[in-house]
């Protein structure tokens, strides 16, 4: 039964929230960006001069439309849409005072300093929550606030290695190009950012019932260990650590890349019914062969079945196989470049590329939020801020500072 559409709210789901984002690089900014997409007012606090480390992680850098010097990196632009940038020097007492004042009017603080760093400045959870008991304070570090590595810096690449992901990613050692590989994007950072956002929303839900704030301790290593998921259970159940399968899967066959007549494709058959449809379309009888009838059989006889399928799939082009198999419910797809991704009719139909205005250029393409809510949709994308773009406006609005006070803070190097 089709339900009547609910009216779309004119306010985003989190429009009542203020977030003080004191994080940089990826995991923390990704959490803040997720909240900003849902209409939270996110104030990004950056250090004087350089700002977020990723502003310099290039090339490529965003070129100015007027031919001026390029500024922020594409890397920075990917994780900071919808925020307001405020530059405050927290090493100065006056800067610390500004952060304390801002935190009193905020619902959430996100930070990813090393364990204990902000406590030295009087900006840790205990200090800020005394003045704002309902504060949700989310700390993101490589290894968490406890344990023997609590003071060790952690970056995504190291975490992918230590957390087991690289032992599962890459071609098998015996094959050309074999060896461990990292994932092409910083998945430990990105998934930690999403877990952080979920944890923040859970803490906010608790606060609505109790008025009580809380501290959230997020660690990249914890998240990486968790997201290995089924491979960990393979290890627990079998007692053997899984190895690398390249573009194949440990527990499902056929679930890998194949070479077609004009390129590579992915075939991802997840059940026996799909395999039967696939075999019927190919005109082969492998689905009735007792070696291949069930997935467990196919896994056991992988080395026999895969070469047979590979020979069949070389007979047609990628597009021919996609056109034949997708309508039958057989999971198959081309391996697209990013250019092909953003030209794909489905990606276009879903609105995953948006065009926004930026201070350096009239049109800046951004990736859109993937969250689709019927009543409280995400807010229209706003360009990531330039360094210190909103310092004066935010401090004037939230702290009621006068122009004279702002000038004094600027002259003292506290703000920029």
Q: Does residue 363 lie within any of the structural domains?
A: no
Report the candidate in 186, 189, 188, 167 with the shortest Cα–Cα distance to residue 178: 167
Domain boundaries, position 325: 255-343
Residue 354 lies in a domain: no
- Sheet containing 83-87: order of strands: 83-87, 41-46, 18-22, 108-111, 136-141, 214-219
Task: Answer yes or no: is 328 within a domain.
Answer: yes
Neighbours of 138 (CB within 10 A): 26
213 occurs within a structural domain: yes
CATH number of the domain enclosing 113: 3.40.50.10540
Give the span between the Cα atoms of 385 and 41, in whole angstroms: 13
Q: Is the same domain home to 267 and 219?
A: no
Q: Are 273 and 249 in contact (CB under 8 A)?
A: no
Decide if 111 contacts 86 (C-beta within 8 A): no
Residue 2's pLDDT is 47
125 and 208 both lie in a single domain: yes
Dist. CA 94–CA 408, nearest whole Å: 11
Calpha distance 215→127 (Å, rounded): 12
Same domain as 188, residue 335: no
Per residue in 43-57, is it b (16+ CB within 10 Å) or e — as a string? bbbbbbeebbebbee
Please indicate, yes or no, whether residues 282 and 209 belong to a single structural domain of this protein: no
Q: Specify the number of domains making up the chain.
A: 2
pLDDT on residue 3? 52
Do both 162 and 202 map to the same domain?
yes
- Are 214 and 89 within one domain? yes
C-alpha pair distances (Å), 37 with each of 15, 80, 223? 10, 10, 23
| 187 and 282 assigned to the same domain | no
Active site residue 173: no
Per-residue pLDDT of the chain (416 residues; tens, 9 = 90+): 445 566 777 789 999 999 999 999 999 999 999 999 999 999 999 999 999 999 999 999 998 877 777 789 999 999 999 999 999 999 999 999 999 999 999 999 999 999 999 999 999 999 999 999 999 999 999 999 999 999 999 999 999 999 999 999 999 888 888 999 999 999 999 999 999 999 999 999 999 999 999 999 999 999 999 999 999 999 999 999 999 999 999 899 999 999 999 999 999 999 999 999 999 999 999 999 999 999 999 999 999 999 999 999 999 999 999 999 999 999 999 999 999 999 999 999 999 999 999 998 889 999 999 999 999 999 999 999 999 999 999 999 999 999 999 999 999 999 99
- On whether both 150 and 63 belong to a single domain, the answer is yes
Considering 156, 189, 217, 323, which one is annotated as catalytic?
189
169 and 260 co-located in one domain: no
Whether residues 275 and 179 fall in one domain: no
> Which of 308, 343, 378 is at the close of a domain?
343
Residue 90 pLDDT: 97
- Whether residue 121 is contained in a domain is answered as yes
Q: What's the pLDDT at 338?
A: 96
Domain endpoint, select from 343, 361, 379: 343
Let me know whether 121 and 267 are in one domain: no
Q: CA–CA separation, 158 vs 167, rounded Å?
A: 12
**pLDDT given for residue 392 in this prediction:** 97
Whether 5 maps to a domain, the answer reads no
Task: Tell me the CATH number at 270.
Answer: 3.30.1540.10
Which H or E run includes 367?
strand 361-367
Burial of 181 (0-12, 13-18, 19+ CB in 10 A): middle
Report pLDDT for 339.
Answer: 97
Is 265 inside a domain boundary? yes
DSSP result, 205-270: HHHHHH---EEEEEEHHHHHHHHTTHHHHHHHHHSS-----TTS-SS-SSEEEEE-SSSEEEEE--
Q: What is the pTM of this model?
A: 0.93
Asked if the structure places residue 2 within a domain, the reply is: no
* Residue 87 phi, psi dihedral angles, 5° rounding: -100, 120
Task: Using DSSP, state whether 161 is helix, strand or coil.
Answer: helix
Sheet holding 264-268, edge to edge: 255-259, 264-268, 332-334
Q: What angle do CA 203, 19, 150 make, to 5 degrees?
A: 65
Query: Are 104 and 164 part of one and the same domain?
Result: yes
């Amino acid at each position: 039964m089709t339900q009547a559409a609910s009216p779309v709210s004119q306010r985003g789901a989190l429009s009542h929230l203020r977030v003080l984002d004191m994080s940089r690089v990826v995991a923390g900014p990704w959490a803040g960006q997720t909240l900003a997409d849902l209409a939270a007012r996110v104030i990004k606090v950056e250090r004087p001069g350089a700002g977020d480390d990723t502003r310099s992680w290039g090339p490529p850098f965003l070129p100015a439309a007027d031919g001026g010097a390029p500024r922020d990196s594409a890397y920075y632009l990917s994780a900071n849409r919808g925020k307001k940038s405020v530059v405050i020097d927290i090493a100065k007492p006056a800067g610390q005072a500004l952060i304390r004042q801002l935190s009193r009017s905020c619902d959430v603080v996100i930070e990813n300093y090393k364990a204990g760093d902000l406590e030295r400045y009087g900006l840790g959870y205990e200090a800020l929550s005394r003045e704002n008991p309902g504060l949700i304070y989310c700390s993101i570090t490589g290894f968490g606030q406890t344990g023997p590595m609590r003071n060790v810096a952690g970056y995504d690449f190291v975490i992918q290695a230590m957390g087991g992901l690289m032992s599962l990613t890459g071609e098998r050692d015996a094959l050309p190009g074999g060896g461990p590989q990292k994932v092409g994007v910083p998945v430990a950072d990105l998934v930690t950012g999403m877990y952080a956002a979920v944890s923040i929303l859970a803490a906010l839900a608790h606060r609505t019932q109790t008025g009580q704030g809380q501290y959230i301790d997020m660690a990249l290593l914890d998240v990486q260990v968790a997201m290995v998921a089924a491979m960990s259970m393979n290890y627990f159940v079998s007692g053997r650590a899984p190895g690398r399968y390249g573009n194949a899967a440990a527990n499902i066959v056929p679930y890998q890349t194949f070479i077609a007549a004009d390129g590579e494709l992915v075939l991802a058959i997840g059940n026996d019914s799909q395999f039967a449809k696939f075999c019927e379309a190919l005109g082969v009888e492998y689905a009735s062969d007792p070696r291949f009838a069930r997935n467990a059989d196919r896994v056991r006889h992988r080395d026999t079945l895969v070469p047979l399928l590979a020979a069949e799939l070389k007979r047609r082009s990628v597009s021919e196989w996609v056109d034949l198999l997708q309508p039958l419910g057989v999971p198959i797809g081309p391996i697209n470049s990013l250019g092909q991704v953003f030209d794909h009719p489905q990606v276009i139909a879903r609105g995953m590329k948006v065009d926004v205005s930026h201070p350096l250029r009239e049109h800046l393409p951004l990736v859109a939020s993937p969250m689709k809510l019927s009543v409280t949709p995400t807010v229209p994308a706003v360009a990531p801020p330039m360094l210190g773009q909103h310092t004066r406006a935010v401090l004037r609005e939230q702290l009621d500072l006068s122009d004279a006070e702002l000038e004094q803070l600027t002259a003292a190097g506290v703000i920029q």
